[in-house]
Amino acid sequence: MRVNARFEGEAEQQLNYLAEATGLGVSEVLRTSVQHYYDQMRARRSGLAHFSAFVGQGRSGRRDIASNYKALLAEGWAGKHQYHAPAVHAVHEPDPPPWPTQPKPPARAKSPRGGA
């Protein structure tokens, strides 16, 4: 596609600056600018911007979702994957050491000098 455009004033200065700063020709600066603008628009219309339209729109009838979301997710995943997920806030006890533990013998009292 061939484009004939007129740039005057500030737009002309900006285009000249970009061409000089990048070392690209005016046509390449315009192509790059269009690509950059296109990428921004596509990102807005997809991804999180698109996802945010659905957040908070469901009506589950439950009032505890915000405070119990981790437990609810664990239950859902456990049912889906046939895996019993541990409680979200369970305390993990460390494994015992691999060596036997023995109590230390009591410390001996020091005897006075010269005596036994």
- The per-residue pLDDT for range 66-99, each reduced to its tens digit, is 778 788 888 887 777 765 555 566 566 777 777 7
Nearest to 66 by CA among 55, 52, 77: 55
User: Which of 26 and 73 is assigned the larger pLDDT?
Assistant: 26
Torsion, CA 49, CA 58, CA 78, CA 88, rounded to 10 = 80
Q: Is 72 exposed, middle or buried (0-12, 13-18, 19+ CB in 10 A)?
A: middle
Instruction: Report if residue 77 sits inside a domain.
Output: yes
Domain hosting residue 68, numbered range: 62-90
Is the confidence at residue 18, as pLDDT, over 90? yes
Residues 66 and 47 in one domain: no
Residues 19 and 40 in one domain: yes
Instruction: Report if residue 23 sits inside a domain.
Output: yes
Q: What's the domain count of the chain?
A: 2
Instruction: Report if residue 114 sits inside a domain.
Output: no
32 and 24 Cβ atoms separated by less than 8 Å: yes
Residues 12 and 45 in one domain: yes
What number is the average pLDDT over the span 3-31? Answer: 93
Instruction: Report if residue 26 sits inside a domain.
Output: yes
Query: What is the pLDDT at residue 81?
Result: 74
Is the confidence at residue 34, as pLDDT, over 90? yes
Query: What is the pLDDT at residue 91?
Result: 62
Residues 43 and 12 in one domain: yes
